[in-house]
Structure 1
């Protein structure tokens, strides 16, 4: 390609790359490169409906380009357009969040490297003192965060500047001595594990708090239930019975009522706290004391079980990607020092012992071992690595001792990027999630006003209808209306699907892409490195003039033994024996032709047809799809060797699998010649092949193919993620093959297949279909049950008991169903 052609390609490629931004803006309408991206953890967020309200208000806030809340990870993803107002907009964000849920804390996620330090506070037994130590430690200069784990009596600190560590520890000792003189401050040595990402830490802490909260709630419920049982079982005077029911109600539901009042004062009326408060207080008003208490008791119990199910779902999904290494064995002279992966620099030498995770990307400089890559790629068969091989962080060293030279800092490593992709995938919401969020916003007020009409209109227009009877029906109607089953379970379903795909070596960058995979009609492949291995291999050996195949390949191998050309490498690999260099004399490389050498006194020529013509040797003219190396010995033609790229064993299986799941057309685009392209396409059973294409011509072909699919259908392009960036961007869904370790692949594509197996594309589509099935099951189940119960309650055939099941019970079942999305073993 001449300079002019290259400039043309580059210009067209840059134009086509704009389509990537358009596609991302469709997935996230307000996305922009000129925006500050921030992430916040919403500590204590427990209401999915409230999360949807927060998201709605934040998206209309002036200066905010986009706001997405992942209820599954309790993370707020914010894009701020007006950079100069960042602090002001963060403060406004906090106000909006707390106006809806006053107890929720908004904590910004930090991505800077920090040093994590643990200090044992031996003898600490006062919770109030622990809180004071924590508060004052957080005010120390250089301390990013300080948390006292009262159960383990540890102070866990994150330090921004490691050089200040000693002075910070001295200040901690001063604080502890002043507050609790009898407590011993012991610095924990050699346990400086890498600080987990903020999301993981918050999940862990929240899980602990949730457990403690559950214990308190269960005690309260048990106490309230006992008083309720006494009031119900014993025949007591009416006034005493009412007092006992009221005490029971206050113990069981007082917090719900208080929360409802606080929310009303902030202008947040239509939430489950309000609905349950109105329904149960209404039951007391019409004299149904036992039912008022029992419904609140059942509701609170259901909330606990629901919370446990959601928390377990979060932990299960997090466990799928538990690939983050905890420490690195840094080699310092003759000693090994256990440090955080964040402390290791490029060029440092680390040692990985058997059974340990490889902490960072690097190159093996000493040792041999088998490594388990299943956590990264989903491959069950271990790989062998040795000196000179590249190795990725996150894989597990099985049996040998490996010495590795670090090539990337932890923040730039493959494992860090994978974790970041998976954790942030929920910021790109699927259309179904966005629909449910909008649906919930209108659904609850409509049902509330319908309940008011149900209470007021029938007594006025129906003869004999009593207000108390219709009020009861209206109150039960209110209980059913909460949309939590949908708002909680659907994001969990998509998050589970993304987590399950990751465990199978498939990185999906968002719920929108996962849902789009359901409608794939056309799959377009690049050839080299995608359907073929991209590695040259000897595929044919044709000797002539009484020379055997072994002799021919041996002559060629010795002739090419001093060359590092890929063709020479493939011949040496095919020969497979050690080269005795002393047997080779007078090595001469003839540029553009081949090589001439003397091997044990015989002149050997190895090269292309030009070399044969130059030396006036009659040779066989060969028409084949590969590169031909002609060999002559003592000026006599000895035969030829064909070297060509090899089709992956998995490629034919991949095409069959795609057709089996309903893909209408499979196409291959390649820059290779027509003979090669046609042969590969026929071998694999592809529907179409287009050869001898430049990168910009591939984009044009994809645009033509895009016009052939239906309006709702999707087109996938599968490439290597490096040379194919423009066409990956233009496709509805860009999939990068063999993406592990390739920064370009991870950046350019919407889905990254972390192995070289094209069949994983069919797996990704199957996971997407399973996820959508689960999500649709939840939608139909939740809405179906609610509609049935609303009708029954309105007709007087249902009670508050059924209504509470329609709220809490349905949510619990939907959450449990969502957890199935992460199970992808049989896909």
Structure 2
């Protein structure tokens, strides 16, 4: 499947976005097409590897439906947005002037529209003041023409293109109908109010876009390296793994890496949402997107820019809109049926009563039918719903929580249970040796056997044992290292077999393991078929784990701990954290079974799983909502996850649920408010208690309020 992405420059109408997506989806060669109105992004998925035919068809459709919208390669978006430009795009009949976009105030960019609306307003005011009927009618018509000439042009053009349910055409018919009925001043006033409302709506959308776009400003513009003895600025994409980059005070780290010299404080808030500075020194691991607060540090690059923390965040936020929530899909389907249904009702309202009450009242019922036409546009829903999800995702990212799409946001809001891995999630995952208990050999010998066996693993337990050994491990002396997932490790050391891990691993090989009791993690060691003793390790519980469990309980979310540790260790950790349900001695496949069992017990409500290790990836992928600890977590776990916690803090889980629930609450508010006002005005209009002014408010005014309400999703 090939994915082609376009930037629809000048797209400023949600209905236009809907129409474009529907027409492109009708193409035989297209698997699916989605338009992200917020990002002005068109994503086309197709099986044909040659994009030439797709490109031609897409441009033809967009040019037919919206000739003033430019179709550009999405990679050109940043380049265009950084330049001063002046353009006029007709959208639903309203001329939106977007010169100075992303560079100057909206007031400047809409100067022409504001000037002509003021002029139209003066003409309208004169039509109401002058005492002569004919001049007043002429002035009212002039006010109508000045305010709405672009609506008329767009309506006629759309009619020729067969777009019968376009908002501009509906507004044109409604106002021309008012003129035909002799309501000159009302037609002018309604058109003026409609256009001013569209202007305010357009400004609100642009401000929302700019607010959301700030999330994408993490990308660094350059990286400093020493080349030919001179300090040089190059693009972060051109830096190679192993290069040394220089980061001065006040600059943002362009790439991930390890500090090789210098000491400083880092502002990590852009990545983790935490505002307290973090101290770093030689050997510290640092992430791109963080800001160096003091001095100069030299950093050895550990990955290419495309794999860095910044690139990962940008990719998730940029592509979040591709995973649409069920609510968004419903609104899209609803909008396709809603407008034609309202138009049909308008026709019936204008005609049917006349058969019963007499055609002498046709003028009255025609006017009421025209009100339905004005109300029919579903802009309030089509704009505000995706904008609400996008703002919610953006707000979560500012708190260090990356949500991969509206679908995940919606599922998280309904989450009823969260299962968590213990090591590295609820605990720090950095073990320390509590005791070394040999059997028949010295402590030093026992630690040596364990360290050489664990030298082939990057598990936190293995790293802790190797650190405690603190001597050079000669790799030539260790052979045939095999890691047995969930059990331990085996190898050949100096020609003899070593087994290192759980008691079950040794017992399977016929080695007798004495009964040992400890609340800490135990690693048993056997050499050449003989039991050599055990090492106990303690894993410190994260400071925020207990609070996270308490907050989840307040949210009505059940917390479950899954761990491969022994029953006694798991019980002690669960008791300390206040977690009532836990499962111990689990292998990776057992964790999947427990998640499936938990999902069956929740009556269809989503279940989340949070983990950090490679062995957690299958469980993260299987859960309804997979949560990965992003800062220290493995790339495989992050790839499988729906949500990534950049600060590795489990307290971010209840925070993310809170953000998702607020987002869904606001989305539902917009749906209820928009539909409630529209249906109420329709009813009042049908009964003769509403005029054109109220009808226009039900269209443009409601959309504006819904847009402003959606932006509350970004605050938490």
1:229 and 2:194 aligned: no
Aligned-partner Cα distance in 1 for 2:478–2:242: 39
SS at match of 1:536: strand
Aligned to 2:539: 645
**1-side partners of 2:462 and 2:318: how far apart?**
45
SS of match in other structure, 1:724: helix
Query: Residues 35-62 of structure 1, C-alpha deviation per residue, up to 9 Å, x if partnerless?
Result: 1112111111111122122223333322
Partner of 2:548: 654
Kept in 2, the 8 Å contact 1:721–1:739? The answer is no
2:244 is matched with which residue? 349
Secondary structure of the equivalent of 2:424? coil
Per the normalisation by structure 2, the TM-score is 0.84
Question: Could you tell me whether the CA contact under 8 Å between 2:85 and 2:100 is conserved in 1?
Answer: no
Number of positions where the alignment pairs a residue of Structure 1 with one of Structure 2: 655
Instruction: Report the CA distance between 1:335 and its aligned residue.
Output: 2.6
CA 255–567 in structure 1, closer or farther in 2 if over 3 Å, else same: closer
Q: Of the candidates 688, 693, 706, which is equivalent to residue 586 of structure 2?
A: 693
Query: How far apart are the structure 2 equivalents of 1:427 and 1:628?
Result: 46
After superposition, the Cα gap between the structure-2 partners of 1:211 and 1:785, relative to the gap in structure 1 and judged at 3 Å, is same
Q: How does 1:717-756 map to 2 (within 5 A)?
A: 717-720=609-612, 722-739=614-631, 742-756=634-648
User: For residues 442-499 of structure 1, what are the alpha-carbon distances to aligned partners after superposition, in whole Å with 9 as ceiling and x for unaligned?
Assistant: 1111111111111122233215852222222211221111111111111110001000
> What is the match of residue 106 of structure 1?
71
CA distance in 2, matches of 1:621, 1:253: 88
Say whether residues 1:37 and 2:7 are aligned partners.
no
Secondary structure at 1:528 match in 2? helix
**Partner of residue 289 from structure 1, selected from 184, 199, 210:** 184
Q: In the alignment, is residue 48 of structure 1 matched against residue 14 of structure 2?
A: yes
The equivalent of 1:785 in structure 2 is: 677
CA RMSD of aligned residues (A): 3.6
Judge conservation of contact 2:4–2:45 (CA < 8 Å) in 1: yes
Contact 1:458 1:465 in 2 (8 A): no
CA offset digits 1:64-92 (Å, max 9, x no partner): 222222111111122112324x3212322
Structure-to-structure mapping, 1:295-310, within 5 angstroms: 295-310=190-205
- The alpha-carbon deviation at position 236 of structure 1 amounts to 3.1
Corresponding position: 1:624 with 2:518: yes
Cα offset, 1:757, TM superposition: 1.2
Worse-superposed segment, 339-348 or 253-262: 339-348
Deviation track 1:295-349 (CA, whole Å, cap 9, x = no partner) reads: 1011111111111111111111222443221222222244322333233333332
Q: Give the equivalent residue in structure 2 for 1:443.
A: 338
Distance 2:99 2:115 in 1: 24
CA distance in 1, matches of 2:61, 2:523: 72
Q: Give the SS at the match of 1:357.
A: coil
Matches within 5 A, 1:479-518: 479-518=374-413
Distance 1:216 1:777, change over 3 A: same
1:246 to 137, 141, 146: 141
Query: What CA distance in whole angstroms lies between the structure 1 residues aligned with 2:258 and 2:403?
Result: 28
Rounded to whole Å, the distance in 2 between the matches of 1:318 and 1:751 is: 20
Deviations 1:105-132, CA, capped at 9 Å, x for gaps? 22122399x9x8xxxxxxxxxxxxxxxx
Contact 1:53–1:441, Cα closer than 8 Å, also in 2? no
334, 357, 366: which one aligns with 2:261:
366
Q: Give the secondary structure class of the aligned counterpart of 2:210.
A: helix
Rounded to whole Å, the distance in 1 between the matches of 2:118 and 2:152 is: 19
CA distance in 1, matches of 2:463, 2:45: 50
Q: Distance in 2 between matches of 1:77 and 1:804?
A: 33
Which residue is 1:775 aligned to?
667
**Further displaced range: 748-757 or 734-743:** 734-743
Name the residue aligned to 2:564. 671
Q: Which residue of 2 aligns with 1:410?
A: 305
In 2: Cα distance, 1:79 partner to 1:283 partner: 45
Q: Does the residue aligned with 2:654 lie in a helix, a strand or coil?
A: helix
Residue 532 of structure 1 and its aligned partner are, at CA, apart by 1.6
Tell me if structure 2 keeps the 8 A contact 1:329–1:350: yes
Q: Which residue of 1 aligns with 2:492?
A: none
Structure with max Cα Rg: 1
| Aligned partner of residue 529 in structure 1, secondary structure | helix
CA shift in 2, pair 1:210/1:259, >3 Å = farther
Instruction: Give yes or no for contact 2:451–2:465 (8 Å, CA) kept in 1.
Output: no
Deviations 1:792-823 (A, max 9, x none): 11111111011111111111111110000000
- Matches for 1:556-575 after TM superposition, within 5 Å: none
- Please say if 1:68 is aligned against 2:34: yes
**Helix, strand or coil for the counterpart of 1:652?**
helix
Who is 2:112 aligned against? 216
Shift, 1:386, TM fit: 1.3
Alpha-carbon contact 2:375-2:695 (below 8 Å) kept: yes
Cα drift, residue 204 of structure 1: 7.8
Q: Give the conservation status (yes or no) of the 8 Å contact 1:480–1:790.
A: yes
Q: Distance in 2 between matches of 1:203 and 1:710?
A: 53
Q: Decide whether aligned partners of structure 1 residues 652 and 590 sit closer, same or farther in structure 2, where only a CA change above 3 A counts.
A: same
1:168-247 → structure 2 map (5 Å cutoff): 205=101, 213-236=109-132, 238=134, 240-247=135-142
Q: Distance in 1 between matches of 2:72 and 2:35?
A: 13
Cα distance in 2 for partners of 1:572, 1:413 equals: 28
Higher mean displacement: 412-421 or 501-510: 412-421
Counterparts of residues 476-625 of structure 1 (less than 5 Å): 476-538=371-433, 623-625=517-519
Residue pair 1:720, 1:739 contacting (<8 A) in 2 also = no
Give the Cα separation in 2 of the matches to 1:359 and 1:210.
Answer: 31
- Does structure 1 conserve the Cα–Cα contact (< 8 Å) formed by 2:84 and 2:103? no
- Residues 360 and 111 (structure 1 numbering): CA distance in 2 closer, same or farther, change over 3 Å? farther
Please give the residue correspondences for 1:257-272 in structure 2 after superposition, counting only pairs within 5 Å.
257-272=152-167
For residues 771-803 of structure 1, the C-alpha deviation after alignment (integer angstroms, 9 at most, x for no partner) is 011011111111111111111111111110111
* Deviation of the 1:629 alpha carbon: 10
SS of aligned partner of 1:41: strand
1:132 counterpart residue number? none
Shift, 1:755, TM fit: 1.7
The reply to whether residue 818 of structure 1 matches residue 710 of structure 2 is: yes
Change (3 A) 1:370 1:574: farther
Query: Does structure 2 retain, via aligned residues, the 8 Å contact 1:531–1:647?
Result: yes
Spell out, residue by residue over 1:646-699, the C-alpha distance to the aligned partner (whole angstroms, 9 max, x if none). Answer: 222222222221121112x33222222232223222332333322222222222
**Partner residue of 1:32?**
none
Gaps of 5+ in 2: 87-97, 438-442, 455-459, 472-476, 480-488, 490-499, 504-513, 525-533
Gaps of 5+ in 1: 1-34, 117-144, 152-201, 543-554, 582-588, 593-606, 611-619, 631-639
- Matched with 1:91 is 56
Q: For structure 1, which segment, 436-445 or 315-324, has the greater mean C-alpha deviation from structure 2 after superposition?
A: 315-324
Cα drift, residue 515 of structure 1: 0.3
* 1:79 maps to 2:45: yes
Q: Is the 8 A contact 1:672 1:692 kept in 2?
A: yes
Partner of 1:803: 695
SS in 2 for 1:324: coil
Per the alignment, in what secondary structure is the counterpart of residue 346 of structure 1?
A: coil
